[in-house]
Chain A
């Protein structure tokens, strides 16, 4: 069974810093990988989706990379803002249609 791990579990940074969140998965036979944001008591907002054939995707201050062979992805957030505070979830899609999620990284950006 696919297992997805995210480290660190929690991260606190001062406003303006650049930061990296890590995601690793055990089975490299994936279709795609998604990064989501979850605010307290809310659903999931998709941030970036990387296809298995791609190496990275960018959206604004966010950049996600994928190294399928080593089972790793990173989410880079540039110039962090207090509004970036949330839990960030990584999920991979395998041959089945469902997503396998990590347990998330809880990010706090201190003003």
Chain B
């Protein structure tokens, strides 16, 4: 079946604007994760959903960042009043089961490259 998809693939915006980034997980996957990857760095965790609820949002850098997953499938990462430091690749991943099973492999999408001018 199809993998994790993310739209748009690229987003250029001006400082202070609002952006939304979308993630479509693999069908049937109950867990969904957002990560942010700055240039030359490894991805850093932002938020994790089990079903519709955010089970762990400890990685969100500040209150300008928010994510939703209203029906337990598609998720949207929302960034208000964007700053130049928000420029990065935003990666989404999904895994098939909830809980802390060590067998919960995460499958990643291609990412959205956000550039804030």
CB contacts under 8 Å to B, within A42-84, are: 42-46, 49, 51-52
The CA-CA distance from A31 to B33 in the complex, in Å, is 17
The CA-CA distance from A52 to B100 in the complex, in Å, is 13
CB contacts under 8 Å to B, within A13-56, are: 31-32, 34, 36, 41-46, 49, 51-52
Contact B45 A98 (CB under 8 A): yes
The number of chain B residues touching the other chain, given as a range, is 20 to 34
Residues of chain A within 8 A (CB-CB) of B85 are none
Q: Does B111 contact A (CB under 8 A)?
A: yes
Closest Cβ neighbor of B92 among chain A residues? A43
Closest Cβ neighbor of B40 among chain A residues? A103
A: number of interface residues (CB 8 Å): 27
Q: Does B79 contact A (CB under 8 A)?
A: no
Q: Does B41 contact A (CB under 8 A)?
A: yes
Contact A31 B102 (CB under 8 A): yes
Contact A97 B91 (CB under 8 A): no
Q: Does B56 contact A (CB under 8 A)?
A: yes
Contact B42 A101 (CB under 8 A): yes
Q: Write the residues of chain B forming the contact surface with A, with a CB cutoff of 8 angstroms.
A: 4, 6, 31, 33, 35, 40-45, 48, 55-56, 59, 91, 93, 100, 102-111, 113
Q: List 22 A-B contacts (CB under 8 A).
A: A31-B102, A34-B106, A43-B4, A43-B6, A43-B109, A43-B111, A44-B108, A46-B108, A51-B102, A89-B42, A93-B104, A97-B48, A97-B100, A98-B45, A98-B56, A99-B35, A99-B45, A99-B106, A101-B43, A103-B41, A103-B42, A104-B42
Give 10 A-B pairs besides A32-B103, A34-B106, A97-B104 with Cβ atoms closer than 8 angstroms: A36-B108, A43-B6, A43-B91, A46-B106, A46-B107, A95-B100, A97-B48, A99-B35, A100-B45, A102-B42
